[in-house]
Structure 1
Amino acid sequence: MSITQQYLLDSYRARQHGEPIPPAPGTHDVRVARELRGYRQFRAVVAGHPAHGRIREALSRWLHGRRVSC
């Protein structure tokens, strides 16, 4: 069963029972991605790492073979 079919079945059952229908698939994807990014930045700061530019710094080390310091 696809996610769309499951959503339609859940919506039908919710209407039959007089309950609010669930949100459509993908409705909150952008919000979840932003919250995940914020959580990863928070974890980096708590661990003592820079919150921004970690990927660029890692690629620079890999390409140039040296350590880039802040």
Structure 2
Amino acid sequence: MSITQQYLRDTYRARQRGEAGPPAPGAHDWQVVRELRDHRRFRAVIAAHPARGRIRRALGRWLSRPRP
């Protein structure tokens, strides 16, 4: 059974019972991706890992600016 078939079956059952329908497949994918990214960043901070990638470059630019 595919995801779409399961979704349609669950929607049908919810309507028969007078309940709220389930969210559509893929409706919260980006939210899950953002939460996963935030969790990984949080774990890196807790483990005291140095910044990498874009964050490190941004910090390097900010710290290397000449002071007025």
Class of the TM-score when normalised by the shorter of the 2 chains = 0.7 to 0.9
RCO comparison, higher one (Cα < 8 Å, 6+): 2
2:33 — aligned with what? 33
- Aligned counterparts of 2:49 and 2:31: Cα–Cα separation in 1: 24
Contact 1:41/1:52, CA 8 A, preserved across alignment: no
Question: In percent, how many aligned pairs have the same letter?
Answer: 72
Give the TM-score taking structure 1 as reference length. Answer: 0.72
2:47 — aligned with what? 47
**Shift, 1:52, TM fit:** 4.0
1:17-32 matches, within 5 Å, as 17-32=17-32
- Count residues with an aligned counterpart: 53
- Aligned counterparts of 1:20 and 1:36: Cα–Cα separation in 2: 27
Contact 1:11/1:22, CA 8 A, preserved across alignment: yes
1:13 — aligned with what? 13
RMSD, matched Cα: 1.0
Distance 1:52 1:28, change over 3 A: farther
Contact 1:41/1:51, CA 8 A, preserved across alignment: no
- Structure 1: where are the runs of 5+ without partners? 54-70
